Structure 1
Amino acid sequence: MNNDNRPLDVIILAAGQGTRMQSALPKVLHPVAGRPMVAWSVKVARELGARHVVVVTGHGAGQVEAALAGTGARFARQERQLGTGHAFLCGAAALPAGEDDADILVLYGDTPLLRLETLRELIAEHHRQASAFTILTGRVPDATGYGRIIRDADGNVMRIVEEKAATPEERAVREFNSGVYVMDGRAPSLAQRIGNENPAGEYYLTDLLALYRGEGARVRAYVIDEVDEVLGANDRLGLAQAEVSLRHRINTAHMRAGVTLHDPDTTRIEDTVTLGRDVTLEPGVILRGETRLADGVTVGAYSVLTDAVLETGVVVKAHSVVEGAHVGAGSDVGPFARLRPGTVLGTGVHIGNFVETKNARLSADVKAGHLAYLGDVEIGAETNVGAGTIVANFDGVNKHPTRIGAGVFIGSNATLIAPRVVGDAAFVAAGSAVHEDVPEGALAVARGKQRTLEGWSRRYWGGMRDKVREKLPWLAGWLERQRG
């Protein structure tokens, strides 16, 4: 319900092709700050408490509808793009019959910057002025290309004049039409009377203004201060500008809520991310998707987190990648580590440089400090995984699991050939290729016996003396010293 206790229905026009994007993807699906542009309009409609939200689709309708599945939006297809008035009628037809007691708000699928607060003020002004049709407008020094708002002496809107039809005096008007309207319940029936007697043969929603005035209804306008809110992203440049604006807005909100950003201009946080207090983000950090960081988390420079959950006090060091992973309180990750989907770290886990995990569950206080691959594995508490360890989980056809118990010591450069079980408190000697299970408390040594042949280097390289002198002067000097 809106603040006048009348229901609110929202129709979002999103049927256009967007040829200036030069893309196979429908324009309204191009993402900005983690959401497709049209999803921002659906989001703000929901935040307004809209009773019904209808998205009018056309170009790429199936893709747009699939992208908005689960949002609760209804869909109306505009099979032929015959103008904004025709699109509005398609959307109005999707509203339940007999529910004409609502105000109707018209939004667009390519204006992701429009704020909730702005729309609330628009609707409030609509009621304060007892208006039947209220236009969201802005003022700019040069409104070239926009429809101009022409008012009477009392501030009522008389008409909207398009650029090519405007007189020189009208072109000098700085107030422009954003295309965002809030209207009373008469709008669908009045829109049926919109004609297409114009060079393009299209039905324009702006013609609804004259139909309201013909009924003796009051038409008003609400002027916003930040005109950037209503500027659509029509090409890649506009898309990038919208991204910058939203990033600034999102980052500012987080900083005001107790998050430290060392360099906000290089920090990218998608709108779907949740951050606790005293989170610290170093320069170049990117947070995407459903990422959630608890209080006191630190993320190092140029790390990328996607759909990650980090509990209290976690430290992710520079240049790490965390995707679809859950990291327990007090753990540290990186630098240059990669946690892949299905990774779950318990409390106090240490994942060091150039360690990669995938579908791995590591219990409390496990340590894997260097150069390891841990895939499809469960590891018990307080186990130490040595440098260069590989859990060989793939046989070329299938992935196989490995289970390592608590308190295990895995020596450097060990390879565990899955499926394997290593019991609690077991030891695996460095350099072992383990192809059998290791019982609890046992030592596994799986490597060839070392042979040492005295003087072998002198004999081998001595036979290649001329080549050694040419290619390896240090070794040639060593050979001469051996002879002496």
Structure 2
Amino acid sequence: MTQDIVILAAGKGSRMKSAFSKVLHKVGGIAMVRRVLTTASSLPESKLHLVVGHQGEQVEANCQDFSANIVWQNDPQGTGDALRRVAPFLQKNGATLTLYGDVPLISASTLQKMTALSNPNTLVLLTICLENPMGYGRIVRNEQGKVTAIVEQKDATESQLTINEVNTGILLAPNNHLQGWLASLTNKNAQGEFYLTDVIAMAARDGVDILTVNPENEAEVAGVNDRVQLAALERELQHQQAVSLMKNGATLLDPSRIDVRGELTTGNDVVIDVNCVFEGKVVLGAGVEIGPNCYLKNCTVGDNTIIKSNTLIEDSKVGENCDIGPFARLRPGTQLANKAKIGNFVETKKAIIGEGSKVNHLSYIGDTEMGANVNVGAGTITCNYDGVNKHRTQVADNVFIGSNTSLVAPVQVADGATIAAGSTITKQVGENQLAFARARQTNKDNWPRPVKK
């Protein structure tokens, strides 16, 4: 069946004590509502509706790439009220799946189990049994075990409060019945709100089959009301991701000390030490080793490369069998060919480093194209910025650059050239030439050292 998917994201979230919408707070580096939208988008034949209210402009702007139908709920009066506002946009046939922007870990597989049961005379509920059901609506069943109603905590009788099967809020209802049920909702309850859960009793009354599905784990249906719950879901997600990485062939020296805030793909025999953070999309080839306290964002790393401790890599491409760090920083636009080496306290930016080239320590290489088998001595910098514009440095193959060299761009160094230590290079160096550019040294006899005043 075709599906309307409604994501409720209009709540104020006052317990977050935040200047921006609750559903925009991140779990695993991604806004909660975007996680829900991404999962919903994976279901076939679906039309997305996003219900916004408090700080709705923020939510709409953050989610515009999903092409969801935006429905406003400026004066929220419950979940039923939200669905009533979406009702004019629902397809005549098919079914409507209701999700929540602050329940970010719901899985596509669970939703697929629900949609597999969908038909014009079936309502599907996602329920779960909890040891402590406090605060949740209870699932009421008759003697035959069929669901007859959902009773909210504040409206439940003493006997109903003993029920531990609870409503998660996620349901799939056939549109041919849902429109009438929504029109019949009232707010005659302890909260004075229109409960979407009231449609369950209506479905039972109308002879509609009510089926239940259970999630794989409790975290799937856990919502976020404050930052404590947000942190708990963050840890749960990181645990899930760590388990997945290890099952995929990666070794995590401490699975509780890794943070994946995006998408991390690993080849076989990857080893990741403690306190590493991965953001955006990161791909690690087979045999990659990453030392402690590293940060990688939107980058690819080739097979058997070693990244030593306290290294930062962002928006870069690293080849195979490279050696990087410790304390190195690869800024956006860096490309390392196979067997390149970037040593301690080296920074690169928009730099193409050729195969087997080495920038071992204490250097800055920016806006540079460097060939193969180049050796860059300590303290070398490319002077790429004139105060207004950036300029490129071009270094050919087999060049030797002595320590403490300044390459003032734009400048070219040809194949096989050698630059003497301490030189400031401002013009082209030809093939196999030796370039040295130093001030003449002067020595003074009997020079008095300064004394402290």
Instruction: Give TM-score, length-normalised by structure 2.
Output: 0.94
Equivalence for 1:31: 26
Equivalence for 1:460: 448
- How far apart are residue 108 of structure 1 and its match? 0.5
Which amino acid counterpart does residue 113 of structure 1 have in structure 2? L
- How far apart are residue 223 of structure 1 and its match? 3.9
Equivalence for 1:478: none
- How far apart are residue 200 of structure 1 and its match? 4.7
Separation of aligned partners in 1, 2:62 and 2:308: 34
Equivalence for 2:402: 411
- How far apart are residue 124 of structure 1 and its match? 4.1
Separation of aligned partners in 2, 1:294 and 1:373: 27
C-alpha contact (below 8 Å) 2:280/2:298 kept by paired residues: yes
Q: Structure 1 residue 94 and structure 2 residue 89: aligned?
A: yes
Q: CA, structure 1 residues 341+61, in 2 after alignment: closer, same or farther (shift >3 Å)? A: same
Equivalence for 1:160: 150
C-alpha contact (below 8 Å) 1:138/1:225 kept by paired residues: no
C-alpha contact (below 8 Å) 1:156/1:221 kept by paired residues: no
Which amino acid counterpart does residue 435 of structure 2 have in structure 1? A
After the TM superposition, which of the residue ranges 82-91 and 363-372 deviates more from structure 2? 82-91
Question: What value does the CA root-mean-square deviation take over the aligned residues?
Answer: 2.1
Equivalence for 2:372: 381
SS state of the match for residue 264, structure 1? Answer: coil
Equivalence for 2:293: 302
- How far apart are residue 225 of structure 1 and its match? 6.0
Equivalence for 1:183: 173
C-alpha contact (below 8 Å) 1:272/1:289 kept by paired residues: yes
Equivalence for 1:195: 186
Q: Structure 1 residue 106 and structure 2 residue 98: aligned?
A: yes
- How far apart are residue 356 of structure 1 and its match? 0.2
Equivalence for 1:289: 280
Separation of aligned partners in 1, 2:436 and 2:111: 70
- How far apart are residue 201 of structure 1 and its match? 4.2
SS state of the match for residue 204, structure 1? Answer: coil
After the TM superposition, which of the residue ranges 166-175 and 347-356 deviates more from structure 2? 166-175
Report matched runs for 1:175-324 at 5 Å: 175-185=165-175, 186-198=177-189, 200-224=191-215, 226-324=217-315
Q: Per-residue CA shift, 1:54-76, capped at 9, x if unaligned?
A: 22222232322232233343332
Bigger strand fraction: 2
Q: Structure 1 residue 442 and structure 2 residue 437: aligned?
A: no
Separation of aligned partners in 1, 2:346 and 2:185: 65
Equivalence for 1:18: 13
Separation of aligned partners in 1, 2:214 and 2:28: 26
Q: CA, structure 1 residues 420+288, in 2 after alignment: closer, same or farther (shift >3 Å)? A: same
- How far apart are residue 41 of structure 1 and its match? 1.3
Which amino acid counterpart does residue 235 of structure 1 have in structure 2? D
C-alpha contact (below 8 Å) 2:155/2:190 kept by paired residues: no
Which amino acid counterpart does residue 317 of structure 1 have in structure 2? K
Report matched runs for 1:31-110 at 5 Å: 31-95=26-90, 99-110=91-102
Equivalence for 1:425: 416
Amino-acid identity (%): 39
Separation of aligned partners in 1, 2:162 and 2:263: 42
Separation of aligned partners in 2, 1:388 and 1:244: 42
Q: Structure 1 residue 349 and structure 2 residue 337: aligned?
A: no
C-alpha contact (below 8 Å) 1:103/1:184 kept by paired residues: yes
Which amino acid counterpart does residue 175 of structure 1 have in structure 2? E
Separation of aligned partners in 2, 1:226 and 1:308: 32
SS state of the match for residue 287, structure 1? Answer: strand
Separation of aligned partners in 1, 2:88 and 2:314: 43
Any gaps of 5 or more consecutive residues in structure 2?
A: none
Match 2:361 to one of 370, 374, 387: 370
Match 1:115 to one of 98, 107, 130: 107
Q: CA, structure 1 residues 13+123, in 2 after alignment: closer, same or farther (shift >3 Å)? A: same
Q: Structure 1 residue 402 and structure 2 residue 393: aligned?
A: yes
SS state of the match for residue 84, structure 2? Answer: helix
C-alpha contact (below 8 Å) 1:34/1:272 kept by paired residues: no
Q: Per-residue CA shift, 1:79-103, capped at 9, x if unaligned?
A: 33232112123334334xxx43322
- How far apart are residue 126 of structure 1 and its match? 5.6
- How far apart are residue 45 of structure 1 and its match? 1.6
Which amino acid counterpart does residue 167 of structure 1 have in structure 2? T
C-alpha contact (below 8 Å) 1:291/1:308 kept by paired residues: yes
Considering only CA atoms, is the larger Rg found in Structure 1 or Structure 2?
A: 1
Bigger helix fraction: 1
Which amino acid counterpart does residue 44 of structure 1 have in structure 2? T
Equivalence for 1:480: none
Separation of aligned partners in 1, 2:302 and 2:365: 21
SS state of the match for residue 167, structure 2? Answer: strand
After the TM superposition, which of the residue ranges 267-276 and 367-376 deviates more from structure 2? 267-276
Instruction: Give TM-score, length-normalised by structure 1.
Output: 0.88
SS state of the match for residue 273, structure 1? Answer: strand
Q: CA, structure 1 residues 395+139, in 2 after alignment: closer, same or farther (shift >3 Å)? A: same
- How far apart are residue 131 of structure 1 and its match? 6.1
C-alpha contact (below 8 Å) 2:147/2:204 kept by paired residues: no
Q: Per-residue CA shift, 1:88-135, capped at 9, x if unaligned?
A: 23334334xxx43322211111111222232233344566xx962222
Q: Per-residue CA shift, 1:329-360, capped at 9, x if unaligned?
A: 22121111000001111111100000000111
Any gaps of 5 or more consecutive residues in structure 1?
A: 1-5, 472-484
Which amino acid counterpart does residue 448 of structure 1 have in structure 2? A
Separation of aligned partners in 1, 2:268 and 2:216: 31
Which amino acid counterpart does residue 181 of structure 2 have in structure 1? L
Which amino acid counterpart does residue 256 of structure 1 have in structure 2? K
C-alpha contact (below 8 Å) 1:360/1:376 kept by paired residues: yes
